[in-house]
Amino acid sequence: MFRTKAIALVAGMVTLLAGSASFAAVTHATVTGGEVEGRLADGIVAYKGIPFAAPPVGPLRWKAPQPVSKWSGVHQATDFGPACMQAPAMLAMLGSKAAISEDCLYLNVWTGAATLHERRPVMVWIYGGGFSAGLTDSPSYDGTAFAKQGVVLVSIAYRVGPFGFLADPALTREGRGSSGNYGLQDMIAGLEWVKQNIAQFGGDPSRVTIFGESAGGIAVSMLAASPAAKGLFQRAISESGGSFGPPLKGTEAGANVRTLADAEALGKGFLAKLGANDIAAARALPAAKIQAAMGPGLTTTFWPNFDGKVLLGDQYLLYSNGQFNDTPVLIGTNSDEGALFARPGVTPASFEAQVRAGYGARADEVLKAYPHADDAQVKLASKRLFRDSTFAWPTWTWATLQSQHGRSKAWVYYFDRRSPQSPDGASHASEIGFVFGTLAVPGPLGGPATAGDRKLSELINRYWVNFATSGNPNGQGLPVWPAFDASTQQSMVFDTMPGAQLLPNLPQLKAMDDYFSWRRGNDSGG
């Protein structure tokens, strides 16, 4: 009996030691640059503020991200890194307490893996903010809920505004024919870091899903067409984002991406206003002076451009020719996206003037699609036109092109969860708390979460996790989500009774499609 008890005691000690070893493997990791230590809470280890590239300061301002420098000792990855340079007011709006700095290329990892060998699906979050704001430390982006569902969640920082997207002829010469897409290159560097290091956190580098919202969703669509990102991800999720319009040439509606030449002219003029005679002088300017020249709010002044390297050109044409990174995509928009951007005081007359100025020869067709006879109608028309031209048409077009020219499938959603604060539909970014399971965090929806909200959040989170796991959102016990087909136009509508339906704004999307077809043909001389 003594021998039996001794054997049992030794076995128990071996088990305990084995458990301690696996526990240590979770809280410590050796990554590019050195060793990092995270913090365990409620079964999830969070690593915050891991550097993935050299600080883009001094001579590295307006350069592609450079390799991270090695550090000695153990980096305590317990606090988020600084937010990239942007208007300070944006941090308060996003619930952030971060400092603001040019030294901002850090990422974060949440994992519940017990060993290094689990090969869990990986999801990489790309924040929104109009390419002029955004950060990783917003409480809405906490990765704990995803990690509890078996995902290794990563969020990456990228440069925004003039620091991330300023082009200039001299910078183009430095960049061997490319400049102004530094923020996108930061994302690519972050994905390269994930490919090289995520196995240290129990993640599977061959099963990576990129996902983002607004500008982050637009960036996801850009990476889906970028040869520089090929092979760095195997699935893509875009919430309220896509980039399928023709190049911006003036004030035409629905276009945001400039040619490299036009972006260079804009950047050169901006630096001249700052009194910088050359790039060396511009790099010597204080970062705060450059940021101050942008003003306090969001702006689309600095945006990714068609440089021919990171972004080859018009994504509609690229997809039509089969030139894209063919992965499954899960993409969608919210029902009242335009509420956040609507201009106050719009009238039927001012709405008509706006449409005629932006939509050219297709203005009449657009006006018919958006009834605007009185104040009540025009308020809705203004919001819905912004929703469709900026978010919904690019998403619908992406799904159509993917289903027609790709081997992988597309799944489309329409988020329509309403609240007393948002009676006309779900506002821009209001799905984020549902996706991340962070409904307790104040956000665009406003008000406390209801039992119905929590149930919908669990449903959406399961779809997203299923998609990251297998490339298909469907799973046992969930309403069937059919893959998108241009002939059936089925999408998953997330409202009080989630289920597959026709897209509610399909007539307006077809009016937008007619406009963009005309615009593309007109711009090319057709």
Q: What is the set of active-site residues?
A: 214, 337, 428
Distance CA 50, CA 36 (A): 8
The three state secondary structure string of 470-522 is: HCCCCCCCCCCCCCCCCCCCEEEEECCCCEEEECCCHHHHHHHHHHHHHHHHH
Whether 43 contacts 112, CB under 8 Å: yes
Distance CA 143, CA 54 (A): 25
Distance CA 411, CA 399 (A): 7
CB atoms within 10 A of CB 443: 22
- At position 234, the amino acid (one-letter code) is Q
Is 477 exposed, middle or buried (CB count within 10 Å of its CB: 0-12, 13-18, 19+)? Answer: exposed
Q: At what angle do helices 375-386 and 348-359 cross, to 10 degrees?
A: 30
Name the token pair of 43.
């079964």
Distance CA 404, CA 326 (A): 12
Place of tokens 């339906």: 501
Listed in order, strand segments (DSSP E) in 3-65 are: 28-31, 34-37, 39-41, 44-51
